[in-house]
Structure 1
Amino acid sequence: MTPRVIGFEPLVLPSEAKGWAPWLSPSFPLAERGGECEHMTNIRQRIEYLFEQLGRLVYRNRVKSLLLMAVFTVIPAAFLPKLSIDTTNESFFRKDDRALVEYNAFKDQFGKDELFVIAVQGPDVFDPGFLAQLKSLHDELKTRVPYLDDITSLINARDTRGKGDTLIVEDLLEHWPRTGRELRALRERALSNPLYRDLLVSEDATFTTIILKAQTYLAAGDVDVFAGFDERAPTAPAERSRLYLSNQQNREMVDAIRDVLKHYDGPGFRVYLAGTPVIVADLEAGINKTLQTMIPLSLLAVFVFLFVMFRRLSGVIYPLLTMILSLLASFGIMAAAGLPMTHITQILPTFLLVVGVGDSVHILAIFYFRYDGGADKEDAIAYALGHSALAVLMTSLTTAAGLLSFIAADVAPIVDMGLIAPVGVMIALLYTVVLLPALLALFPIRRAALRRAGTASAMERLLAGIAKFSCDNPLKIIWIAAVITLLSIAGMTSLRFSHNGLKWLPDDYPIRKATEVIDEHLKGAVALEVMIDTGRENGLHDPDVLNRLEHSVDFASGLSVGELQIGKAWTITAILKEIHQALNENRPEFYAIPQDRKLVAQEFLLFEGSGSDDLEDVVDTTFRTVRFTIKSPFHDAMVYKVLLDIVHDHFVQVIPEATVTTTGVMALFTGMIHNVITTMAKSYLIALSVITVLMIVLIGRVRIGLLSMVPNLIPIMAVMGMMGWLGISLDMSTILVGSIAIGLVVDDTIHFMHNFRRYMEQTGDVRQAVMNTMLTTGRAMLITSVVLASGFFITTAAEMKNTINFGLLTGSSVVLALIADYFLTPALMIVVYGQRKASGSHQTRSAVKS
């Protein structure tokens, strides 16, 4: 047998593979395969012939092809400066999403509910030195933090009291305590105020807070100062044109706050910064860091493995250049479409990089085999495209189909992923079949040295050994696969849906530690907001409605769901009770709701006349719509779903005449996670159905097409089982693994079955067909799987845990898919075809066709 090279090493067959030679010889013309390609009666053969002709066309017009691809790259890449990053809560929703519309209506009425919470720890927060330092911090934050709408702490907390017939509403520390008696009075007044407790000061007086509220709109001057007092909660279309604060302004506020805090943090005055806006800012910073780190690392891993496998620079530079340019085009299109980079789409660069390189490897492996065997460039390029481009096309379609299923989701970033990722995959395909051949044609490539006949590489011996083992032990392999499936199912029973974005960050991250401290000592910093529309003007002057609201405060304050314990609840009744007590000689027994409608109206009127604007934060000017706030620790969004249902049902029962809307960040996330869980299940079914149809079309036989899906499903089940055994939850990140992995794991099966069918038609011998497939396509499958897996596994070096889990799980699915296609797929083919052997070429083709 003539020595030759497949990909990068001379192929010399081990004894198990004798007799497979003619159609794999570099001198064997592509047009002679199967003896029927000349007439192109078979659709698959026609497509292969078209790809072969495409290779020749690109070769003969290589400069024009490069210029065409350059133009195709430059035009979308021009939009890259417009690519934005959006990690706000709103980014998960479409602009017309009902939950978002209701949340924006809430913000338009009452302002932002996302608060910056600074917890300050000391031996005693009422110590004169501590209070002086607290005032200094309060004042500096007030002057230095941009976009600040309000700041609240013990320094300026509302202190409502009566003096004779006069209602006095002033700052708690309006008059600085000078004596020990005044300090004791201050302590008693603060700790006895139910609203302060666990909001501004802890019960043991070792923690206090400074709460910062950002402007609702980008520029306060652009807003009608009376816009928040509209009678109806929904805002008019003209108002919606105003811009809410963006991530950029949020980041500026976080940076300014931290810059101030670093000068105050120290023994006896420990500061902790938390709150939803800080979590959003730090997640955004984590995404930026991930992108800056992971893309170079992925490129390095791909570079190393390609060089090790191909052992020439062209085998490294051309695939990487092809993929980098396709990335530029893909993200240029993403920017032009106005799609931002989000928590979800941050995985796209690494994903598209490794997927695209996998396409290039299959073309290059066959090209080098043909070229090193003595063929000229044109024939080698044409042969490579004719041999592998159809399989690459099918793998691209199945990967795109898996990703396209994301558009069934109701969550904006996942839908965006379902739109841009398939486009990126198909762009990578275009660059692979046009740009890569043009580069091969234009620049010189050295031919690899040939090995002596009679020798075989370690990889060839390994692949031949796997082929022999799979053919000799099909039933054992199938039984092992069955056991793995059962173990996977057992692990899957432990899977649970859970989403806690805070736990994506490392344990030692300041925001995570700060949130845990505030949750422990101040019972949380996350708010669930409820808007209650009584349906009539001055409906909140009705003592009966107010009594039911107060009952709801007691109900919510004692509510717990699993490990989640509500920290606090309040509404307009807290202000009313303060007023009533103050107007009755500050006597504690009058800390209650007046039971006379006219008296309620008078007391609210007196409060408004005192100069305080605090009512604006909880009620509209017509006293029709009220805000009800529930404070809780940062917890699993799935638990919040149960909590939201309980709260909503309570208000519907207690105030049935009112229109109740649960909103706020917690409500947004809960609705979003619920939608993800329900819609992603649909996307899995869609992806599996589409890919199964494509497999049947490619293979040409329904039974074999269906059977070929078994090696694809088992790796997916194994990964999900692994998640269950390792305690990895299905969250916004890991739930995407299924659809992505479905598209990826089927790639190896497509390449295997595509070539197995070809060799089965040519030999009629199932064992020989398996051996031939392993020694050709099996090599490229190994290279692409190593490249894919390394690209995904490299993300385990990332800082954010969601990225680590995604890379670990997706990389594992690629490895398991390769193992399944190396062992289980041949075993299934042996069982299906039996031990069929060739008895003549005509008999072989007839048997296969039948």
Structure 2
Amino acid sequence: MKNIRIRAWFIIFFVLSITVLLLSEAGKVGFSGSVADLIITETDAETSSSDKTNSEHLVVMVQIVSPEKNTSPDKKADFINPSRLLDLKEICLSLEKTELFSSVTSIAGISLPRSSPAETIAMEYKQRHGLTHALLKAEKIYRFAPRELPKELIFQKGKRPVFPVFKNQSMKSAMEFIDHFSVWENLPGTTHEARLFMNDISNPVYLKNFISGDMRACAILLSLKSTSHALENLPAIRKTIDKISENYKDLYTIVLAGNLLLQDEMKETISTDTIIFLKLGFILILICYGWAYRTPRGVILPLITLIISEIWVLGIMGLTGHDLNIVLYIVPVFVLAVGSSATIHMISKFYAFHDAGMSLESASINSARELLLPIGSASLTTAFGFGALTISNVQGLNTFVILCIAGLAIITFLSIIFIPALNIVLPPPRRKGNHDFISTRHWSAFSDWVFSRSALISLLFMITGSIAALGIYLIDTDNDLTKLLKKDSKVLKTADMVSRKLAGTTILTINMESNPGWCIKRESLDNLSKLQKELEKSPNIDKSTSLGDLLRLTHSLATPDNQENRPANQYEINSHLHLFRAMETSKTYSEFGLAIKDLMQEFVSSDFSTARIQIRSNLTSLKLMNSELARINNLVSKIMGSHIKVTISGGIIDVNRAVERILLGQTKGVILSLFTIFILMLIYFFSLKISILSIIPNVFPILFFYGSLGLFNIGLDLSSGLVACVAIGISVDDTIHFMTEMRRQLKGTYNSREAIFQSHQKVGGPMILTSLILAIFFGILILSKFPVMSNLGWLMAGTMLLAMISNILLLPALLARVRLFGVWDMLKKYNFNPADSPLFAGMSKLGTRTFLSMGRVASFANGETIFTGNEKPNAIHIIIEGHARIILCSKHNNENFTDKLTAGQAFGEITAMNPQNSIFQKDYSNKSSLTTPETHQQIARYPAIIAESEMKTIVIDGDFFEIAGTFSPKICNRFLMNLLGSRDKFLLLSRCGSETEGLT
């Protein structure tokens, strides 16, 4: 005993040491609303890191306050005003000073070279159209070049195009026009200039992207430098915006919008929810444990175990650098739920053994020994279910699965090792007695009622399950991050306001890829324009921008009277591109040229093999998104041609795709969990019936959960999908605990009714207590600030209670209607060892068990005739208990031969194995060795078999061999070979006296 206590103290010291080490790491775990780990998958990580269109963006909308609130009467109520444009410029400069953004883009940032100011209107006209003349000059260079000179661009994969070289003319001469005629470099200084300026930017590139149609609101597009640390920089960004807003509060309404703000609000909600869940969870667990056990040990030990398990899991998260985000914040909830289940069973089992008279050490060790299998199996089953989620290949989800499995391992270790160690070193309970909160008398009455009403119970569950199954067809599979926030959320209201005034804050990019150079061909640009018109017919798309809009802008500069059309001829398109390329290498205009290059790269690849259409919308719903993406793909194929390879990118798309993978993995996880239960029960009982019946009680909670999602219009999304995995993973625990106890009880009683009663008495109480605690615990979700999680609160509580009812009521009702112990169990009861019989020689224990599990046991009373002499036996019987008399009778019922058969011997007709074609079929009337010719006609063909005591036999008939031959052909063949080799011992009339020797 001393050694046992030393080991217990060592275990406690080890656990506490690890806890102290991980405590500091657990403190590093923060909260995050980021969905970056959902966006990036292992296969897409490299693509995402190099994809410029996936950078994080924010939108600042500067809207002029209503005229009645405007305290500055000298400023007009729109941006056609030099002072307002100057205000916008100052706001942009304030944002640039933070050095948090890679770019700050607005209409106030237009920067083109400018010469000395002009004073006359005529000169002003020339100044504004300096670029116009430059573009026209570039067009003339291409148009009037000698025919022998090539005018087409040369394209190569992955390289920028090669432009033609003209002998007498160059693009330098075109750029000279910019020196002599200014373009807007500085903001307009007069109202007249402002009107001309606004006329210039009233084009598809700027309109609704950077300025509203009524000119009363402008957008500032912010591109963050670090996408991975975007949320960390958000407080500084907000502080800057608040300061700017305060400075201009009498003139403008300045708001910040973007998906980053949605993530930040989720972060705050996650933080609040997690703290509330854990605090209330521990309080409720204290109350429930105190009510159930009414002892300090029954409260303190589980509580310590749960606290340590949370520290270990959070410590692992701290070591690996993970915060609690929209996915991972479920992990502590899951660990607390699973931990409460395991600790309840362990404490209950300890009290049961100690109340039965065991010592403190024995009760602790035996409780761990008995619960190792059910707790380990339950954890393994749940782990398999979670493991199926990894097929989604989403890094964030894989992290969730790994942490949940780690939590399962920690809970299993602490429950099986740590709690028994604490029980050993702590003083023994002060009193022994019944610690069950449901009395034996009540369990006895309940078990009798279940046994007698099993058919009615099964029918009621079938009806309920059918109704729930109808709800599954009504499930709306969707994911919308905005549903995670309340409808009156400031973030959602701001996003809606920006969308109505300008364009949506959700940015999508259509990438169309083909051969280099295809997208600047005149026909392709025509189709691109048609495609954009069709796209913008959708109510879900606010704005689309492409290379065609950029070329339309350059064409409007070249032909001021034609604002709507792009260049009509291919040489015009080529000349404009050539001019901008030449400006990149010019010392004077390189800044402008590089700016145009960066702008074009947003819409086209360097080799012009990929064209991009940027879409602005407020799409967040998975269902609407999928519908819109299907429409976009169809339009691209129809208008641009089926040879174009289309991909659509964007942060919200990646999140929704990740959710789809999660939901697929969740479905497979449920199937895998049920399959794992089936395999475990098959190993435990070697019975296909019992294995299938064990699955049924777990189907009803699943039907209830998914059916309710459809019937109550909750929908299946990211949150409900992950919580469903947790709920279903926990619900299988009760099945495993009940079936494990049933197996243990059947070994002792071989009586189904008694085994069900004993199982109810032993594990029914802990199952009910566990389910009540879990129902109350998950009911806390009703308090969540996430509307979706709040709806799931009552649904989760109902699922836990239904899982408990299914395992306490339905599972025993189903088991009451089938044989719970097989041939192998009967052999143990009657102390018959198949290894002692020659029939099973050379067969392994597993092979023998598998073979016999497909047979059946027959019972015969003392004196009962098993076979009469006038009938052909239809089976072979192997005696496992009792003995029988074999009698060969004449037609006049005179006994001719008799012998005694005992346990291990067989009798019957071997043709039962194959009555159609048997080489062993006997015709005793032709056996001269049996009788003399005079007595030949008086001998019956078949003998009689009469039981001389209470007798049990294993029945082997044609059906048996048909099943055995299908599932275990090798084992069946071994048995037949043994039977053939020993047929003189097992066929009818063997050992029937000296007169029959040699008969066989």
After TM superposition, the score normalised by the length of structure 2 is 0.68
What is the rounded CA distance, in whole Å, between the counterparts of 2:367 and 2:408 in structure 1? Answer: 20
Report matched runs for 1:46-195 at 5 Å.
59=5, 61-73=7-19, 80=26, 87-92=33-38, 96-98=42-44, 100-107=45-52, 112=55, 114-118=57-61, 120=63, 122-123=65-66, 124-126=77-79, 131=84, 135=88, 138-139=91-92, 141-143=94-96, 145-156=98-109, 162-163=129-130, 165=133, 174-178=187-191, 192-195=202-205
Report matched runs for 1:346-365 at 5 Å.
346-365=329-348
Aligned to 1:471: 451
Report matched runs for 1:358-757 at 5 Å.
358-372=341-355, 374-448=357-431, 450=433, 463-533=443-513, 535-536=515-516, 541-558=520-537, 560=538, 565-584=540-559, 586-587=560-561, 589-606=562-579, 609=583, 611-612=591-592, 613-619=595-601, 620=605, 623=608, 625-652=610-637, 654=640, 660-757=646-743
What is the rounded CA distance, in whole Å, between the counterparts of 2:500 and 2:735 in structure 1? Answer: 52
Question: Displacement of 1:815 after TM fit?
Answer: 1.2
Question: Displacement of 1:413 after TM fit?
Answer: 2.0
- Comparing 251-260 and 663-672, the one that deviates more: 251-260
Say which structure, 1 or 2, has more relative contact order (CA 8 Å, 6+ apart): 1
Is residue 156 of structure 2 the alignment partner of residue 210 of structure 1? no
What is the rounded CA distance, in whole Å, between the counterparts of 1:296 and 1:618 in structure 2? Answer: 54
- Comparing 572-581 and 804-813, the one that deviates more: 804-813
Which amino acid in the other structure matches residue 206 of structure 2? Y
Report matched runs for 1:760-771 at 5 Å.
760-771=746-757
Question: Displacement of 1:298 after TM fit?
Answer: 1.9
Consecutive unaligned residues of structure 2, counting only runs of 5 or more, are 67-76, 114-127, 134-176, 584-588, 833-856, 859-879, 881-953, 955-1000
Tell me if the contact between 1:301 and 1:794 (Cα under 8 Å) persists in the aligned partners. Answer: no
Aligned to 2:73: none
Which amino acid in the other structure matches residue 650 of structure 2? G
Report matched runs for 1:329-344 at 5 Å.
329-337=312-320, 341-344=324-327
| Residues 753, 275 of structure 1: alpha-carbon distance in 2 compared, 3 angstrom cutoff | same
SS of aligned partner of 1:531: strand
| Residues 659, 488 of structure 1: alpha-carbon distance in 2 compared, 3 angstrom cutoff | closer
Tell me if the contact between 2:480 and 2:622 (Cα under 8 Å) persists in the aligned partners. Answer: yes
What is the rounded CA distance, in whole Å, between the counterparts of 1:371 and 1:525 in structure 2? Answer: 65
After TM superposition, the score normalised by the length of structure 1 is 0.79
What is the rounded CA distance, in whole Å, between the counterparts of 1:299 and 1:784 in structure 2? Answer: 14
Tell me if the contact between 2:481 and 2:620 (Cα under 8 Å) persists in the aligned partners. Answer: no
SS of aligned partner of 1:527: strand
What is the rounded CA distance, in whole Å, between the counterparts of 1:286 and 1:351 in structure 2? Answer: 18
SS of aligned partner of 1:631: strand
Question: Displacement of 1:575 after TM fit?
Answer: 2.1
Question: Displacement of 1:722 after TM fit?
Answer: 0.7
Identity %: 20
| Residues 363, 835 of structure 1: alpha-carbon distance in 2 compared, 3 angstrom cutoff | closer
What is the rounded CA distance, in whole Å, between the counterparts of 2:471 and 2:309 in structure 1? Answer: 38
1:577-617 deviation line (CA, Å, top 9, x unaligned)? 12211222x21x25322133332233345557465414413
What is the rounded CA distance, in whole Å, between the counterparts of 2:103 and 2:757 in structure 1? Answer: 73
1:279-332 deviation line (CA, Å, top 9, x unaligned)? 233333333333333222222222222222222232222112212222333343
Which amino acid in the other structure matches residue 624 of structure 2? V
What is the rounded CA distance, in whole Å, between the counterparts of 1:328 and 1:198 in structure 2? Answer: 51
| Residues 721, 157 of structure 1: alpha-carbon distance in 2 compared, 3 angstrom cutoff | farther
Tell me if the contact between 1:618 and 1:628 (Cα under 8 Å) persists in the aligned partners. Answer: no
| Residues 457, 295 of structure 1: alpha-carbon distance in 2 compared, 3 angstrom cutoff | closer
Task: Identify the match of residue 818 of structure 2 among 832, 841, 850.
Answer: 832
Question: Displacement of 1:782 after TM fit?
Answer: 1.4
Aligned to 1:52: none
SS of aligned partner of 1:155: helix
Aligned to 2:885: none
Is residue 769 of structure 2 the alignment partner of residue 783 of structure 1? yes
Question: Displacement of 1:525 after TM fit?
Answer: 1.4
Tell me if the contact between 1:761 and 1:844 (Cα under 8 Å) persists in the aligned partners. Answer: no
Which amino acid in the other structure matches residue 781 of structure 2? T
What is the rounded CA distance, in whole Å, between the counterparts of 1:356 and 1:481 in structure 2? Answer: 29
Rg larger for: 2
Tell me if the contact between 2:82 and 2:190 (Cα under 8 Å) persists in the aligned partners. Answer: no
Question: Displacement of 1:456 after TM fit?
Answer: 9.7
SS of aligned partner of 1:831: coil
What is the rounded CA distance, in whole Å, between the counterparts of 1:761 and 1:302 in structure 2? Answer: 35
What is the rounded CA distance, in whole Å, between the counterparts of 1:475 and 1:63 in structure 2? Answer: 52
| Residues 397, 174 of structure 1: alpha-carbon distance in 2 compared, 3 angstrom cutoff | same
RMSD: 3.8
Question: Displacement of 1:755 after TM fit?
Answer: 1.9
Tell me if the contact between 1:399 and 1:743 (Cα under 8 Å) persists in the aligned partners. Answer: yes
What is the rounded CA distance, in whole Å, between the counterparts of 2:431 and 2:254 in structure 1? Answer: 65
| Residues 209, 477 of structure 1: alpha-carbon distance in 2 compared, 3 angstrom cutoff | same
What is the rounded CA distance, in whole Å, between the counterparts of 1:266 and 1:129 in structure 2? Answer: 19
- Comparing 574-583 and 71-80, the one that deviates more: 71-80
Question: Displacement of 1:366 after TM fit?
Answer: 2.1
SS of aligned partner of 2:523: helix
Question: Displacement of 1:486 after TM fit?
Answer: 0.9
Which amino acid in the other structure matches residue 741 of structure 2? N
1:218-246 deviation line (CA, Å, top 9, x unaligned)? 4xxxxxxxxxxxxxxxxxxxxxxxxx542
Which amino acid in the other structure matches residue 574 of structure 1? D
Aligned to 1:801: 787
What is the rounded CA distance, in whole Å, between the counterparts of 1:133 and 1:444 in structure 2? Answer: 80
1:323-357 deviation line (CA, Å, top 9, x unaligned)? 22223333434454566644222200110112012
| Residues 784, 170 of structure 1: alpha-carbon distance in 2 compared, 3 angstrom cutoff | farther
Question: Displacement of 1:392 after TM fit?
Answer: 1.8
Consecutive unaligned residues of structure 1, counting only runs of 5 or more, are 1-54, 219-243
Aligned residues: 750
Question: Displacement of 1:159 after TM fit?
Answer: 9.4
| Residues 322, 340 of structure 1: alpha-carbon distance in 2 compared, 3 angstrom cutoff | same
What is the rounded CA distance, in whole Å, between the counterparts of 2:3 and 2:110 in structure 1? Answer: 77
What is the rounded CA distance, in whole Å, between the counterparts of 1:747 and 1:106 in structure 2? Answer: 45
Is residue 209 of structure 2 the alignment partner of residue 196 of structure 1? no
Tell me if the contact between 1:407 and 1:416 (Cα under 8 Å) persists in the aligned partners. Answer: no
Which amino acid in the other structure matches residue 514 of structure 1? T
SS of aligned partner of 1:211: strand
| Residues 96, 415 of structure 1: alpha-carbon distance in 2 compared, 3 angstrom cutoff | closer
Tell me if the contact between 1:154 and 1:173 (Cα under 8 Å) persists in the aligned partners. Answer: no
Question: Displacement of 1:475 after TM fit?
Answer: 1.9
Tell me if the contact between 2:368 and 2:416 (Cα under 8 Å) persists in the aligned partners. Answer: yes
